[in-house]
């Protein structure tokens, strides 16, 4: 059996799978018909709009541009030669894993809370997808940033992030962390509309 049949070794596929996992969580929150669940689904969708584009820029716009390959096997030791990229990529990976103090954590927590409130068993099953998504996101980052000496693919055209790449990634990182620490502007704007929607349906 080919190794590709057992696990994904394409970095963009791995990021796409984590996106599908998050989409399932905010879909559950939206259909929970609770205030917390619907607000959480909207927040998680917004957080996903910050983190996933950042990760795809890291994978396709930076790593692929320098190596012409998307296979995780050839990415290792990036922290040695691309330290700024590794830090930004690390923060985005934490957001993708739903780590506290990121907007993703808030959205996932509220969505799962709404699912638990409506159907506890469904909430437990949904929580397992979050754990698995975090596990393979951490695995992906560990293989790329560390994992030994860097690959020969990066001997030519090597260099840390450019000013344009740094600016794009920094915008996603700042919004992810800032709204994760202080989400009041988003939640205050959502609460009245979501409450009105729930009470009108009921």
Residue-by-residue DSSP string for 100-161: TTSHHHHHHHHHHHHHHHH-HHHHHHHHHHHHHHHHHHHHHHHHHH-SSSPPGGGSSS----
18 vs 181: which has the higher pLDDT: 181
What's the mean pLDDT when you consider all of the chain?
Answer: 86
pLDDT of residue 169: 95
Domain carrying residue 139: 15-201
Q: DSSP letter at 99?
A: -
Is pLDDT above 50 for 4? no
pLDDT of residue 68: 81
Confidence of residue 155 (pLDDT cuts 50, 70, 90): low
66 vs 149: which has the higher pLDDT: 66
Look at residue 4 and tell me if it is in a domain. no
Look at residue 7 and tell me if it is in a domain. no
Look at residue 2 and tell me if it is in a domain. no
pLDDT of residue 165: 93
Residue 113 and residue 109: Cα distance in Å, rounded?
6
Look at residue 95 and tell me if it is in a domain. yes
Q: What is the mean pLDDT of residues 76-83?
A: 85
Q: What is the mean pLDDT of residues 104-109?
A: 94
Q: What is the mean pLDDT of residues 125-145?
A: 86
Is pLDDT above 60 for 3? no
Residue 25 and residue 124: Cα distance in Å, rounded?
11
Question: What pTM, to 2 d.p., does this model score?
Answer: 0.88
pLDDT of residue 200: 80
Long-range contacts of 67-70 (CB under 8 A, 24+ apart): 67/151, 67/153, 67/154, 68/153, 69/153, 70/10, 70/11, 70/12
Residue 183 and residue 121: Cα distance in Å, rounded?
28
CA atoms within 13 A on the CB side of 40: 29
Is pLDDT above 90 for 74? no
Look at residue 5 and tell me if it is in a domain. no
Q: What is the mean pLDDT of residues 94-111?
A: 93
- Provide the domain count of the chain: 1
Measured between its terminal Cα atoms, the distance across the chain in Å is: 54
Is pLDDT above 90 for 171? yes
Look at residue 1 and tell me if it is in a domain. no
Look at residue 10 and tell me if it is in a domain. no
Q: What is the mean pLDDT of residues 169-186?
A: 95
Is pLDDT above 70 for 89? yes
Angle CA 141–147–155, to nearest 5: 100
Q: What is the mean pLDDT of residues 27-53?
A: 92
Q: Which of 24, 23, 28, 22 is nearest to 116 (CA)?
A: 28
Provide the percentage of residues in the chain whose pLDDT is more than 90. 43
Look at residue 173 and tell me if it is in a domain. yes
Residue 81 and residue 76: Cα distance in Å, rounded?
10
């Amino acid at each position: 059996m080919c190794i590709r049949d057992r696990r994904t070794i394409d970095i963009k596929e791995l990021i796409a799978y984590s996106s599908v996992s998050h989409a399932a969580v905010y879909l559950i929150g939206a259909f929970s018909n609770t205030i917390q669940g619907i607000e959480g689904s909207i927040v998680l969708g917004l957080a996903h709009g910050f983190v996933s584009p950042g990760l795809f820029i890291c994978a396709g716009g930076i790593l692929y541009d320098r190596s012409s390959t998307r296979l995780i096997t050839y990415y290792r030791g990036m922290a040695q030669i691309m330290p700024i990229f590794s830090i930004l990529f690390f923060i985005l990976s934490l957001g993708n894993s739903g780590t506290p103090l990121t907007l993703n954590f808030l959205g996932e927590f509220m969505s799962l809370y709404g699912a638990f409130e409506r159907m506890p068993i469904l909430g437990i099953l949904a929580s397992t997808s979050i754990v698995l998504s975090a596990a393979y996101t951490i695995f992906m980052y560990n293989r790329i940033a560390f994992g030994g000496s860097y690959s020969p693919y990066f001997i030519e055209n090597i260099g840390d992030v450019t000013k344009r790449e740094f600016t794009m990634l920094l915008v996603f990182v700042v919004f992810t962390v800032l709204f994760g620490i202080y989400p009041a502007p988003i939640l205050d704007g959502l609460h009245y509309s979501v409450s009105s929607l729930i009470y009108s349906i009921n």
